[in-house]
Structure 1
């Protein structure tokens, strides 16, 4: 499952990250195959994911941003049992480990704000039992220098997200080694 997922992300250089119903409707009209869900609650997330799946797209739920879910394994179980989501996005290592156990694809999100973030990524890379399928670094506009450093310390594919606002940002991230970018900026979703 994991290698198919990573390949699909690699083949989708721009990923739509949606933060509201309007964004959901717009992304369903794009050619983008992978959608990051950054909004919802325990009542609405099954319907949001179903719309994405009915459109033939991959749905990744940012579990930390879903109202009513906690940072505990039971939240992962809820996503697995009550939605058709392909996987989760989170900043929590423990949720990555459990999601892998139950067969969900995983993206571990890091906020790369200082050198300590790089130390955290390196420490995570040494713990083989909690390897995510993909690491996403935020903000994505810092990618040119940082992504090469992260590529040296982990074998996990790296993607970039956050503050990506135009084609130059996309190209900088991809040429630096990111496998793809995620953005809520709808104008970037329609770049050629």
Structure 2
């Protein structure tokens, strides 16, 4: 939460070729998306030299199983600060390893909003990442029941104007892989 107050933009890194640019950015949080277990430790070690928080999207990491051993591996051997996942059970496992947790939910319709809120109230992650992020202002009234969770908007957010609109209408952070927003 403090890191988002300093800068609400989160860098979602989908390609390690962009790592240097992200490391030089003002973002305080980096989410490693589509990382590879073979290069993950080196990437995390490079980020660790900064004061940025490091999250790994567990569901999208190549070579890493989405189970308790995968979470333990990220915590004890890789040294991440937290995980991103759609899996409620992995939120609980991550908490056992004192990792920060972001639960990702996809908003497709009213039913997915209700199911997402039910899932979040069950798992109680530190933050909720809502995709696509541009829907956050439209579902603001539904998000009021998530008063204890930090709301992060992600996906289809491509401009500074969109970021400001989303932050004014329900989100505390915006996650983007758009490098032009990192400048």
- Taking the aligned partners of 2:175 and 2:90, their CA distance within structure 1 comes to 21
Q: Which of residues 93, 98, 120 is equivalent to 2:93?
A: 98
Number of residue pairs the alignment of both structures matches:
183
Q: Work out whether 1:140 is the aligned partner of 2:133.
A: yes
Over the aligned positions, Cα root-mean-square deviation in angstroms equals 1.4
Cα 1:44–1:147 shift into 2, 3 Å: farther
Could you tell me how far 1:133 is from its partner in structure 2?
A: 0.1
Residue in 1 that maps onto 2:55:
60
| Mapping for residues 60-79 of structure 1, pairs under 5 Å | 60-79=55-74
Q: Which of residues 77, 80, 85 is equivalent to 2:75?
A: 80
Cα 1:126–1:14 shift into 2, 3 Å: closer
Residue in 2 that maps onto 1:109:
104
- Taking the aligned partners of 1:109 and 1:51, their CA distance within structure 2 comes to 25
Q: Deviations over 1:132-153 (max 9, x none)?
A: 0000101111111113312235
- Taking the aligned partners of 1:72 and 1:10, their CA distance within structure 2 comes to 32
TM-score (norm 2): 0.94
Q: Which of residues 25, 30, 35 is equivalent to 1:40?
A: 35
Gaps of 5+ in 1: 1-5
